[in-house]
Amino acid sequence: MQAPDFQAFQRAFGRHLRDPRHTPRPPGVPARRMQVYNELLFNNLTGFLDACFPVCRSLLGETRWRRLNRTFYRDWKAQSPWFRDIPGEFVRYLNEGGIRQPMPAWLSELAHYEWAELAVDTMDCPIAAHHPAGDLMSRPIVLNPALLNLPYAWPVHRIGPDYRPRRAQPTHLVVYRNAAELVEFVEINPVTHRLLTLLGNAPNSGERACRQLADELQHPDPASLQAFGRALLEDFHRQGIILGVQP
């Protein structure tokens, strides 16, 4: 069944907007008016990308950055219609889009790291009922819901104009929103990353999570790991990564 004329026009209009260099504008649309649409939509897109990914932009340089913006705009089928989701869609594009132009090996992770601040800042997540002063070792822990526990293959928090790594270096970061509604970044080690993962996967007391961690690591002295875990969890509680324990 042939699509109605207006739908065919809309599709032709959209194809030209995505790739004006290689797709002709729909018949009957003045070139000057079409150019206004082309510039307006692409500039809106790049405005969101520039604001979220300043380090990526500066390291690629303006020409390569704009070329990458253009291929994202042309090729990627976004899953969300909201402008606020453009940066997240761009991160997905870098990971899944089959980009043809050569890019630094660490670029997709650097973009994810830059996006993580926006993601945590805009998280709309209810806070579970909790006691802020309960025993973290004996009661199930309540984590801050506005939190990302992130493993990276590259030291993304150090990449910048003066440092572009040539070799991977596993890095673990916690990104969270504190009580003052500010986004914080904390570098952690792989063991702490795993402990937070255990606490986030299911309701777990500190004692139980540390015991499971000791079993996974085949730790020779589980009691010392429990003591280390208690001190670590109390520090996370002070920082706002942990809110308290379940009632």
Domains of the chain: 1-103 (1.10.150), 126-247 (3.90.930.50)
pLDDT tens for 6-62 read 787 778 777 767 877 877 777 777 778 878 777 888 888 999 999 999 999 999 999
Instruction: Return d(Cα 34, Cα 32) in angstroms, integer.
Output: 5
Using CA atoms, how far residue 203 sits from 49, 177, 206, 207, in Å, is: 37, 21, 10, 12
pLDDT tens for 219-229 read 999 999 999 99
Structural Rg of the chain based on CA atoms? 23
- Give the H/E segment covering residue 118: helix 107-121
pTM over 0.75? The answer is: yes
pLDDT tens for 91-128 read 999 999 888 889 999 999 999 999 999 999 999 999 99
